[in-house]
């Protein structure tokens, strides 16, 4: 019997062995190398990603596994809710969050040169939830987060909810006000995301 309290190791390859033509909500642990390769070669084939409305991604392994997350997100045009568990992501997070602003044609957050047509990641995204990061301990992150809120609203892909949750201590913040402006408001009670199965 496996120790139930042991570290979790749900592999992305499992998802690659399932045929899920109608999946709409997905929670995946990314702990395999080259996750974008698995995603593109198997998961995108067996799973109707164009219908995916909710995705929850986390990693308990190498932080580098998350480097390919933007490419994965690029294949999800209908995604409305994205939950990211960043427990092992190494600071600073600025680079990572920049991809949610605008991307160049190559799907990276490199500078957009004149003449290029910028695109936004997950254009239908309404809710972005970041877990296990506290925005208060990284002042340099604030301008980037504000840019995400502001720029996505300008180009017609506004977020309705942008939250950060940290379990140590149990705190949650909402970064979007009722009028769509960038704010920072504590949410009580602070609750982690849980997919309702």
Partner 1 sequence: MSEDSDFGSPLTRSDVRSRYPGLTLTSLFPPTSYKSHDLLPRTYQSLPRHKAHLIPVETFSEIFLFTVQDDPHSQTNLMLVCRHWRDIMLSTPGIHSRLRIYSGTRKEDIERFGRRWLLDVTVDGQDLSVDWRYKQYLNPVRFHACFMAAAEAASRWRSLALLSLLGGDKDLHIIQPLQHLESFKLDASCELGNFLEPLLTAITTTVTPRFTVMEIFHPDAVLHLVQPTHFRIFSSLTTLRLICRRMQNPVDILPCLHKLEIFEAHHLSLPIYSPGVNLPLTQILRVLHLKSVSIQWMEGRIFPALEECSIIFPLYADIFQSVYMPSCSILKYDSNNLRTLEHFHHPPLARLEVKCGQWRRWRGNLQLATLHRIFAAQSLTCLYLEIKCSERLLAYMLGLAPSLEELWMGLSNPHALSSAFLLAFAAGGRSTSVVPSSRAIAPLCRQLRKLHLHYKRWSRDTERNGLIPAFGAIVASHPAKEQTFSFRLSFGEGSELQEWIVHEPVERFDIELQGDRTFIGVASPHGIVPLSRASVDSDGDSLTGLEYPPLPRESEYIATDEDLELPIDYFFSFHSLKEVRMRKLDLGMRSNTQSSPDAPLFHTLKVLIVYASRLSPLAIQTFHKLERYQEGFASDVEEPGQGWLTEMPVCIRRSPDLLL
Contact residues for partner 1, defined by CB under 8 A: 1-2, 4-5, 8-11, 13-29, 38, 41-42, 46, 56, 58, 85, 192, 194-197
CB of 65 to partner 1, least distance (A): 15
Q: What's the closest the beta carbon of residue 96 comes to partner 1, in angstroms?
A: 20
Q: E strands within 23-122?
A: 25-29, 54-58, 81-85
**Buried/exposed code over 127-138 (b: 16+ C-beta within 10 A; e: otherwise):** bbbbbbbbbeee
Distance in Å, CB of 172 to partner 1, minimum: 16
Angstrom CA distances, 5 to 2, 9, 119, 168, 169, stand at 9, 12, 42, 19, 21
For residues 197 and 29, what is the distance between their CA atoms, to the nearest angstrom? 16
Cβ-based nearer residue to partner 1, 57 or 145: 57
Could you tell me the smallest distance in angstroms from the CB atom of residue 57 to partner 1?
10
Q: Which is nearer to partner 1, 34 or 185 (CB)?
A: 34
Count other Cβ atoms within 10 Å, centred on residue 169: 7
Q: 76: which residues sit within 8 A by CB, 6+ positions away?
A: 49, 52, 55, 122
Chain centroid to CA 44: 18
> Considering the complex, what minimum distance in angstroms separates the CB of residue 79 from partner 1?
14
Nearer to partner 1, 56 or 109 (CB): 56
Q: How many CB atoms lie within 10 A of CB 194?
A: 9
| Closer to partner 1 by Cβ: residue 58 or 109 | 58
Rank residues 60 and 104 by Cβ distance to partner 1 and give the closer one: 60
């Amino acid at each position: 019997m496996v120790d139930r309290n042991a570290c979790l190791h749900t592999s992305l390859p499992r998802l690659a062995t399932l045929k899920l033509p109608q999946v709409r909500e997905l929670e995946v642990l990314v702990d395999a190398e080259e996750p974008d390769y698995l995603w593109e070669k198997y998961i995108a084939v067996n799973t109707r990603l164009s219908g995916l409305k909710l995705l929850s991604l986390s990693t308990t392994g190498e932080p580098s596994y998350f480097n390919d997350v933007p490419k994965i997100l690029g294949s999800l045009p209908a995604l409305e809710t994205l939950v990211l568990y960043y427990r092992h992501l190494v600071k600073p997070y600025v680079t990572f969050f920049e991809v949610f602003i605008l991307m160049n044609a190559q799907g990276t957050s490199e500078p957009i040169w004149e003449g290029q047509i910028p695109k936004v990641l997950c254009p239908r995204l309404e809710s972005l939830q970041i877990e296990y990061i506290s925005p208060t301990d990284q002042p340099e992150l604030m301008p980037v987060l504000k840019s995400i809120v502001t720029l996505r609203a300008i180009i017609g892909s506004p977020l309705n909810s942008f939250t950060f949750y940290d379990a140590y201590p149990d705190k949650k913040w909402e970064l979007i006000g009722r009028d769509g402006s960038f704010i920072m408001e504590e949410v009580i009670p602070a609750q982690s995301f849980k997919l309702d199965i």
